[in-house]
């Protein structure tokens, strides 16, 4: 990617951070999509996305918790198993031949998840058993570390589908889940940090700003259905590109 394209990449990262943070997500799948569209080196995608995820999920966790949109009782069983499994997943490096189609599937799944998201919260929530939560946390933690996402993109729809928490509470749980998994996954893949581009601090700065705006709005009941549907279109395009490379 040429230096002239960096400002355009930064603007896209900023927009992605706003959109994802508004629903409690760090945005890794969106960052992966944008960086893929800008043709960044495949080995730079995973560590850069995790770094941006940590920044955005960190501020999102603070704002959602401050707004009362979080349940420690629901969260902690996921965390116990997800942290070590995310670290383990981060130690694996996939070849481009495996990584690209796997990333493509993740992005397409993200597109479907965002498009199908409902803004309604008119159901009775019932927390899962601790054993089931720990099993789910371990599986999603390993997947997030392996692919380079925080795991919230899988956890959120699962929790809503199975009615494990109210939608806004799901966003708060997802934010902290993404934060701890991103940190653990990056620690398990420290050797990849030398692939992070030199302009990563700029991307982190715009992601922090965008994430702060998105999380502040999202935690105050901002309608997000239309934004999520628009985001799904970009993810479909980026996911499709992974299968054509």
Residues 6+ apart with CB under 8 A from 132: none
**pLDDT, mean of residues 37-60:** 90
Our count of domains for the chain comes to: 1
Q: Which two tokens stand for residue 8?
A: 């355009």
Residues 162-208 have pLDDT tens digits of: 889 887 788 899 999 999 988 988 887 777 778 888 999 999 999 99
Q: What is the mean pLDDT of residues 84-100?
A: 81
Whole-number Å distance between alpha carbons of 125 and 206: 36
Cα 174 to Cα 29, 61, 207, 232: the distances in Å are 14, 9, 18, 19
Rg (the chain; Cα; Å): 16
- pLDDT-above-70 percentage for the chain: 90
d(CA 13, CA 7): 10
* 245, pLDDT greater than 60: no
Give the Cα separation of 218 and 195 in Å (integer). 33
Give the domain extent around 103.
3-244
What is the structure's pLDDT at 190? 75
Average pLDDT over residues 113-138: 80
Q: Which residues fall within 8 angstroms of residue 98, CB to CB, at 6 or more apart?
A: none
DSSP three-state, residue 35? helix
Tens of pLDDT, residues 169-182: 888 999 999 999 88
Nearest Cα residue to 186 out of 172, 199, 173, 200:
200
C-alpha span between 136 and 210 (Å, rounded): 30
Among the listed ranges 69-73, 87-91, 113-117, 152-156, which one has the minimum average pLDDT value?
Answer: 113-117
In the predicted model, what is the mean pLDDT of residues 131-148? 90
- Quick one: DSSP state of residue 128? P
pLDDT at residue 222 in the model: 67
What is the separation of C-alpha 208 from the centre of its chain, rounded to a whole number of angstroms? 14
Q: What is the rounded (10 degree) CA torsion for 203, 206, 211, 214?
A: -130
Nearest-10 crossing angle of helices 96-116, 42-66: 30
Contact 83, 180 (CB under 8 A): yes
Determine whether 139 is exposed, middle or buried from the number of CB atoms within 10 Å of its CB (0-12, 13-18, 19+): middle
Q: How far is 20 from 178, CA to CA, in rounded Å?
A: 12
C-alpha count within 13 angstroms, C-beta hemisphere, residue 7: 1
Which whole number is the average pLDDT over 132-145? 92
| Residue of higher predicted confidence among 59 and 220 | 59
């Amino acid at each position: 990617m040429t230096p002239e394209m960096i400002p355009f990449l930064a603007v896209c990262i900023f927009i992605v951070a706003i959109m994802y943070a508004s629903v409690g997500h760090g945005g890794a799948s969106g960052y992966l999509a944008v960086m893929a569209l800008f043709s960044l080196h495949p080995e730079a995608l995973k560590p850069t996305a995790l770094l941006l995820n940590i920044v955005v999920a960190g501020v999102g966790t603070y704002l959602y918790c401050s707004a009362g949109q979080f349940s420690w009782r629901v969260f902690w069983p996921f965390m116990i198993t997800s942290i070590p499994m995310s670290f383990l997943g981060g130690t694996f490096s996939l070849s481009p031949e495996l990584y690209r189609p796997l990333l493509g599937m993740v992005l397409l799944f993200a597109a479907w998840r965002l498009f199908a998201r409902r803004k309604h919260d008119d159901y009775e929530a019932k927390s899962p058993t601790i054993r089931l939560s720990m099993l789910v946390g371990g599986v999603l933690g390993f997947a997030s570390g392996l692919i380079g996402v925080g795991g919230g993109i899988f956890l959120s729809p699962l929790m809503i589908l199975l009615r494990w928490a109210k939608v806004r509470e799901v966003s708060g749980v997802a934010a902290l889940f993404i934060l701890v998994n991103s940190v653990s996954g990056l620690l398990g893949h420290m050797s990849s940090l030398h692939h992070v581009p030199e302009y990563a601090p700029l991307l982190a700065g715009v992601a922090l700003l965008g994430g702060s705006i998105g999380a502040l709005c999202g935690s105050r009941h901002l309608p997000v259905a239309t934004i999520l549907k628009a985001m799904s279109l970009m993810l479909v395009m980026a996911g499709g590109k992974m299968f054509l490379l």
